[in-house]
Amino acid sequence: MIPICIGLIAAMTVIMYIYYKKVYNVAFLFSGFWLVIVLMSSLNLYDVFISNDYVYELITLGVAFFDFGFLVSQKIRIKNVFNINEEEIDQRKYLVCVCICLIAISPDLQMLLFFFENGFDINYIYYIVAMNSYGDTDSVVTQFGTAWQQILSTYIGYPLQYLLIASGICKGLKEGNKKYIFISLTFLIVRFLVDIKRTVLIMFFFMALFVILLLQDRKKTNSGFFCGVHKKNIIYFFVFFGIYILISNMRSGEEENFSLLENIYFYYAGCVKYFDLRIANIDFADNTYGLFSCRGLIAPFLGVLTKIMDVDFPIYEMATKQLALLHGTVYQIAPGHYYNSYATCFWEFYVDGKEIGVAIGSLIYGLLGGVFFHSYIERRTLLSIYNLSFFISIYLLFSMLQISSIINYLVWPLLFNVFMFERKDRNG
């Protein structure tokens, strides 16, 4: 069955490539991305345990419905209902958001100051924050800020932080404005130092790369598959890759003796086996009916209501529990290698509604990506570049980890970004 699944995903990849021969074609990227992962997983290198055929079938189902949603999206258009200038980010709004964000994330800033004053190294900070997120320790992280300050950070500070990083990258790279690039890098470094997770660096590196590619592409409509990639972009890629390796070495414990290639293989191919083990050990009977996949959208409302009114929302609580279990559930996927978190985007869809959930969730996923893609093709504005590059780098390229819409600060920057742009002159 696995060869059939690989053949079907390969066929979908070719079809999506023929549909639009650009590297930012989200259907081609998604299909090709999962083709590589499935191929890698099927090899079972480094003695990774063999995955069940059913998992490959679910992935193939998800890719097929993603591509179908992408094709259907041709009929959907985003209207400029707020009458904004999609080419200009408002400087005053941006700076106001910077001030609000700094106030909201003040507990994080206090925590970082504490870490630096006490000389904790990167590996120790990562360990402490990770243990705190699992609920296994009353670490120093919990000493900063009241419960309400933590809520403010979670539901206002972090979404604004990601919004400021993303919009600053777009405006800074478009205009060559060092001020916006500096602000973006500052917030990015703060975010990285809070939990020492390399994923945030990779997310925004690829977003910056795609912003550059799309800015170049809109100047050259016939720039080829790679949108007229400049030599500088290639240099940036290898410089970042070197920094990534350096950080990885700093964060690795002495007990880890895995090579770079082995780590890459486990991060990508390992997600298939972890997905398989999560399904095999599923510990709940009811579905979350879409609430898990879109948890980030509703979390600010239900999360605050739960605190204020002390009411229960059983399905929401189940979705939140499943989110916590993503980090806290560890399985052995190969001799001497344990794995967590990387359950794939299809796991959230599966929790929402089993096979039907995978089909519907993937359809909506592809529909959203297709809307952003076709919006860029038609408009080629800075807002459309923001949306498409954000979706590719944070949603699509991390689909082996999760569907990013389960995290509130990865959802709202795609909704609030329109308010960061200037309003058009009504008389103009």
* pLDDT tens profile 323-378: 888 888 899 999 988 888 899 999 999 999 999 999 999 999 999 999 999 999 99
Nearest CA to 333 out of 292, 281, 397, 285 is that of 281
More confident site: 162 or 284: 162
- Please check the confidence at residue 418 and state whether its pLDDT lies above 60: yes
What tens digit of pLDDT does each residue of 104-148 get? 999 888 888 877 776 656 566 655 555 544 433 334 445 566 777
Q: What is the pLDDT of residue 140?
A: 44
Nearest CA to 161 out of 89, 210, 97 is that of 97
SS3 state at 224: coil
- Please check the confidence at residue 428 and state whether its pLDDT lies above 70: no
Distance (Å, whole) CA 162 – CA 164: 5
Please, which pLDDT band fits residue 218 given cuts at 50, 70 and 90? confident
Q: Which amino acid is at 202?
A: I
pLDDT, averaged across the chain:
85
Please, which pLDDT band fits residue 310 given cuts at 50, 70 and 90? confident
Q: What is the pLDDT of residue 262?
A: 86
Cα torsion 230, 233, 235, 241 to 10°: value is -150
SS3 state at 225: coil
Distance (Å, whole) CA 181 – CA 174: 10
- Please check the confidence at residue 102 and state whether its pLDDT lies above 90: yes
Determine the distance from the C-alpha atom of residue 157 to the mean position of all C-alpha atoms in its chain, rounded to a whole number.
Answer: 17
Q: What is the pLDDT of residue 130?
A: 54
Residue 366 vs residues 210, 275, 346: alpha-carbon distances, Å:
19, 21, 13
Q: What is the pLDDT of residue 375?
A: 93
Q: Which residue has the tokens 């360990």?
A: 127
DSSP for 13-63, written as a single string: HHHHHHH--STT-HHHHHHHHHHHHHHHHHHTGGGPPPPPHHHHHHHHHHH
- Please check the confidence at residue 41 and state whether its pLDDT lies above 50: yes
